[in-house]
Amino acid sequence: DDDVVEDEEGVVVVYPEYGLEVRNPLSETPKEIYSNIYYYQRFSAFRMDTQGFFAAARHIRDRLIKQWNETFLHFHKLDPKQTYYLSMEYVQGAALLNALGNLNLLPRYVYPLLRFHLTITNFDQLDKYGELGNENGGLGRLASCFLDSMATLNLPAWGYGLRYRSGLFKQRVTEQGLEEIGEDWVDKFSPWEVARHDVVFPVRFYGAVDGSRKWVGGEVLQALAYDVPIPGYKTKNTISLRLWEARARAQDFNLSQFNDGQHESAAQLHSRARLICAVLCPGDATEKGKLLRLKQQYFLCSASLQDIIVRFKERRSGKGPWQWSEFPCKVAVQLNGTHPSLAIPELMRLLMDDEGLGWDEAWDVTTRTFAYTNHNVLPEALDKWPQPLMSNLLPRHMEIIRGIDDRFLAMINATRPDLHHKLAAMLILDDHDPHNPVVRMANLCVLSSHTVNGVSRMQSEILKAELFANYVCIWPTKFQNKTNGITPRRWLRFLNPGLSYVITKWLKTDKWITNLELLSGLRNFADNADLQQEWQFARMSCKKRLARYIYCETGVYTDAYCLFDVQVKQIHECKRQLLNILGVIHRYKILKEMSAYQRKHATPRFVMMGGKLCPTDTHAKQIVKLVNDVGAVVNNDPDVNGHLKVVFVPNYNVSLARKVIPASELSQHITTAGMEVSGTSNIKFALNGCLIIGTYDGANVEIREEIGEENFFVFGARADQVPRLRKERENGMFKPDPRFEEAKQLIRSGAFGNYDYTPLLDSLEGNSGDVFLLGHDFSTYLDAQARVDDAYMDPKRWVKMSILSTAACSNFSSDRTVAQYAKEIWNIQQCRLP
C-alpha cells in the first residue's frame, strides 16, 4: 500500500520493485488495484520467465525496427552531417525496461505482464545483452549514456563497437577471497541485435607494403555488422549501435586438408577470427595478448571507417559531382579514448591507397574529421604499442604514422625552433629506449584531431597544463572541456520511479527528464516538510528493497534505519577501498570501547562495497578478502549488532546498480586527488539524492560547487599537493595518525582472521610506500566521516541535503554534454523524424 498514491487525477501505483509507475491501471478501482497488487506481489516477485521476456522483447523490438528504419531513411534523405562514435566498450545494461520507458509504454506492458506473474526487473538476468564494457563503468558506460542522449536529442549519430562474446567475469566470494567464473554475453540468442549479412567488410592483418605503396598479402578476415537499435526518449528517432563480429571467409576453409583429417589446421583462420571478438580486454601482459588487443582495435577501426565511407558515397550518389574535401562536412568521428586511434591512419590509408588522394589532401580530410576524448591523465596508463608489433601487424599504418611524425617534425623545425627541445616528447614514435621503441597513441590523437577534450574541468586543466602542455602553444584552441554527464532516463526516471514521481509532483512537470536544469527548482522546496516526508518515504522503500536483496545474497541482515554507506566501483589501489575499510576498522574499535548507552547515540551504519577487479590484481583481491574478513567478525559481534554491518556484494553491474543507487545515502568517491579524471558514478548517486564523501578530484569538484560545500563531505590532499606530500614521505618527514597505525595493527594482530595481510599492509609502510597517500588522508577522512555522523543524527537536515543533492545535478545530464559536443566539436544539427 505504501506505493499507491492518489492525486486529483486518480490513482498512481508507484512500483519501485518493478521499475514502473502506473496511472489508473486498466481503470480498476483503487480497491481492486490494492488487492491485485498485493496478489501479484506475493506471487510474482521472484519469478523470471524466459518466454515472457522474449515475447515482450520481440514485440517491442518489432516496433523499434520500424522507427529505426524510418530514422535511417530520414537521415539518408536529408543527408545531414553525422557523428560516428567509436568506442571499444559500451555498457548498455538491460534494454527492455529502457526501451519501454523511452517509448512511454511501461504501463502498457508492465501491468499485463504482472497478470502472467511476470515482472520486468526480474528479466534483468536474461536481458544481459550489451554489457560490453568492463562494468567498472567509466568510459564504456559513458558511451552508452551518450547514445541515449544522441537519440533523445534527435542527433544524426551512430555508435560503433565490437560484438564481444564474453566480458569480465562473474564473481563468487569464497573462503579464500574472490573467484571469477566466465560469463557469456551474446552466445545466447539476443532479441536486440539484427545480423546484417549484407554489411560485410574485409579487414587485413600482416602482409607487406609493395612498390606502389599498397598493402598486400597477409591474412584477410571479414567484419560482419550486427545492429542494435537505440531508442530516444519520447521521440521516434531510433539510432544504431553497430557492432562488428570477426569471421574468416568461406574460401579460407581448406577442404582438402579437412578431408585429409587435419581438421584444426584446415579451419585455422576461422579459429583465429573467432578469437578477435572472444573477450573484452584480453590480458595484455604477454606478447600474444598485446597482439590480440591491437587486432581488436584495428578491426573496429577498419570496419567502421570502410562503412562510414560507403555511407558517405551512397548519400552523395545521384547528387552531382562531389569532392573528398566535403567528407568532413558530412562526417565527424569521435574517438572514445585512445583505443580506436588506429582509425586515423586507417582513414589516411583508405583515402590515399583506395581512393587515390595525395598525402596533403588526405591529411586535410583526416584532421578535419577526428576529435579525441581523453579519459586518463596518467602517462603510464596511455596506450603505447611496441613498434615491431605494429610494423608486423599493420605495416602500411606504421608507414603512415612515420609520415605524420616526419611532417610534424619538419613543421616544428620550420616554424617553431623554440620547441625543438620538447620535440622528443611530442612525436608519436618514441625511440629513446632502443630495446623497446613504442608508438604513443595519445600523441597520434593529439596531432591528428581537430579537437581534444577532457571530461571534467579539473582534468581538462591538467591536460592543458601537464600532459599535453607542449602542444597547447602550437594549437591553443584545440583543447576543450566537456564535463561528463549521465542519462536521466536510465539513472533516475527508470532507476528510481518512486523518487521520480515525487520530483514530478513537486516540479509540476516531468520535463526535467529531458531538461535536467529544471531540477534546480527543487531548491525552493528543500525545507518543505511535506516534500521532505515524501522524499524520505520514497528513499526508505528503496532501502528496504536493498536490505532484502543483501540478506538473500549474503545472509547479512541490516536494519533499514542505518545509514547506508556505499562504495561501488572498480576495486583498485587508487580508488582506495583500503582507506574505507581501515576507517570501518577504526569505527568498530571505537564502538567496542563505548558503553551501551554511548553506542545507542552513535550513528548506525551499513557499509557496502562492490565492484569488479582485474583477475590478476592481487592487491585488489586482498582488499576484497579483507572486507569479507572484517565483515565476518563485525557482523557476528553482538556488541555492535544494530550499529555496524559490513558486506562485499559480488557482481556489481548495471542491474545491481538499480537496487543500490536509489537506496544509498552516503557514497564514497575517495581516490587520491588527481587520479579520477571525472567519475560518473558520483553523479549517479548525487542525482538520486545520495550525499558524497569524497576528495577534491574529477567531477567531485564540480558537484561540490553546485551543492555547496556544507553539503559535501570533502577531505584529503589536493592534486597539486600530492607530489610534495610524496616527497615528504620519501624524506621520512611524514608522521602518520596514531589511529591509522592502530587500524593496521588490529589487522596484523589477527583480529580479523589468520590470513596473511602483510603484503597489503606493507604497501602502506616505508619511505617509498603508500603512494596513494592513505596515511596522509586518514585523519581528514575520519573527520569527514564524523561530520557525516553528526549530519545523519538530524533527519531533517539530512533529507534537506539529499533534496539539494538532486537539485545540484541539474548540469550533469549527458543531454547537456552531448549537446555541447554537437555544437562545439561535431558541428551537427538535430534531424528529427516528423
Instruction: Give contact residues for ligand T68 (rule: CB under 6 A).
Output: 138-139, 142, 337, 375-376, 381, 383, 455, 484, 676-680, 698
We find the least distance from the C-beta atom of residue 655 to ligand T68, in angstroms, to be 20
We find the least distance from the C-beta atom of residue 736 to ligand T68, in angstroms, to be 28
The sheet with strand 4-7 has its strands ordered as: 4-7, 10-15, 20-23
Q: Which is nearer to ligand T68, 484 or 695 (CB)?
A: 484
The number of helices, as runs of H, and strands, as runs of E, in the chain is 33, 25
**Max Cα separation, the chain?**
87
Closest of 585, 669, 595 to residue 629, by C-alpha? 585
We find the least distance from the C-beta atom of residue 719 to ligand T68, in angstroms, to be 13
Three cell numbers, residue 14: 508507484
We find the least distance from the C-beta atom of residue 464 to ligand T68, in angstroms, to be 17
- Give the chain's radius of gyration (CA, Å): 27
We find the least distance from the C-beta atom of residue 458 to ligand T68, in angstroms, to be 11
We find the least distance from the C-beta atom of residue 195 to ligand T68, in angstroms, to be 28
We find the least distance from the C-beta atom of residue 171 to ligand T68, in angstroms, to be 19
Query: How deeply is 727 buried, as exposed, middle or buried, from its count of CB atoms within 10 A (0-12, 13-18, 19+)?
Result: exposed
Q: Please identify the residue of the shown chain whose CB is closest to the bound ligand T68.
A: 138
We find the least distance from the C-beta atom of residue 799 to ligand T68, in angstroms, to be 28
Residue 140 burial (CB count, 10 A): 24
Residue type, 812: F
Q: Which is nearer to ligand T68, 297 or 558 (CB)?
A: 297
CB-based contacts of 7: which residues, under 8 Å, 6+ apart? 505
Q: Which is nearer to ligand T68, 44 or 817 (CB)?
A: 817
We find the least distance from the C-beta atom of residue 98 to ligand T68, in angstroms, to be 20
Q: Which is nearer to ligand T68, 379 or 738 (CB)?
A: 379
Q: Which is nearer to ligand T68, 168 or 538 (CB)?
A: 168
We find the least distance from the C-beta atom of residue 456 to ligand T68, in angstroms, to be 8
How far is Cα 621 from Cα 762, in angstroms, rounded to an integer? 15
Q: What is the DSSP string of 447-504?
A: HH-SEEEESSHHHHHHIIIIITHHHHTT-TTSEEE----B-HIIIIITT-HHHHHHHH
How far is Cα 266 from Cα 742, in angstroms, rounded to an integer? 64
Q: How far is CA 812 from the centre of its chain?
A: 15
Q: Which is nearer to ligand T68, 383 or 815 (CB)?
A: 383
We find the least distance from the C-beta atom of residue 317 to ligand T68, in angstroms, to be 38
Q: Which is nearer to ligand T68, 486 or 526 (CB)?
A: 486
What CA–CA distances, in Å, run from 533 to 463, 520, 585, 800?
45, 19, 34, 10
Q: Which residue has the cell 584531431?
A: 449
The four Cα atoms 185, 190, 192, 193 give a dihedral, to 10 degrees, of 80
Closest of 587, 687, 689 to residue 699, by C-alpha? 687
We find the least distance from the C-beta atom of residue 681 to ligand T68, in angstroms, to be 8
Q: Which is nearer to ligand T68, 137 or 345 (CB)?
A: 137
Question: 5 has which bridge partners?
Answer: 12
Q: Which is nearer to ligand T68, 98 or 484 (CB)?
A: 484
Q: Which is nearer to ligand T68, 573 or 676 (CB)?
A: 676
Q: Which is nearer to ligand T68, 141 or 311 (CB)?
A: 141
Task: Give the containing element (helix H, strand E) for 410.
Answer: helix 395-415
Q: Which is nearer to ligand T68, 381 or 424 (CB)?
A: 381
3-state secondary structure of 416: coil
We find the least distance from the C-beta atom of residue 678 to ligand T68, in angstroms, to be 4
We find the least distance from the C-beta atom of residue 372 to ligand T68, in angstroms, to be 13
We find the least distance from the C-beta atom of residue 705 to ligand T68, in angstroms, to be 17
We find the least distance from the C-beta atom of residue 203 to ligand T68, in angstroms, to be 22
Q: Which is nearer to ligand T68, 113 or 683 (CB)?
A: 683
Closest of 392, 426, 434, 379 to residue 407, by C-alpha? 426
Q: In 182-302, which ranges are E strands? A: 194-205, 208-209, 215-216, 219-231, 238-248
Q: How far is CA 341 from the centre of its chain?
A: 19
Task: Give the containing element (helix H, strand E) for 812.
Answer: none
First to last CA, the chain: 42
How far is Cα 819 from Cα 155, in angstroms, rounded to an integer? 9
CB-based contacts of 599: which residues, under 8 Å, 6+ apart? 591, 639, 640, 643
What CA–CA distances, in Å, run from 257 to 217, 220, 221, 268, 273?
21, 19, 20, 11, 19
Q: Which residue has the cell 596533403?
A: 360
Q: Which is nearer to ligand T68, 373 or 806 (CB)?
A: 373
How far is Cα 331 from Cα 350, in angstroms, rounded to an integer? 15
What is the bridge-based pairing of β-strands 208-209 and 215-216?
antiparallel
Three cell numbers, residue 716: 584529503
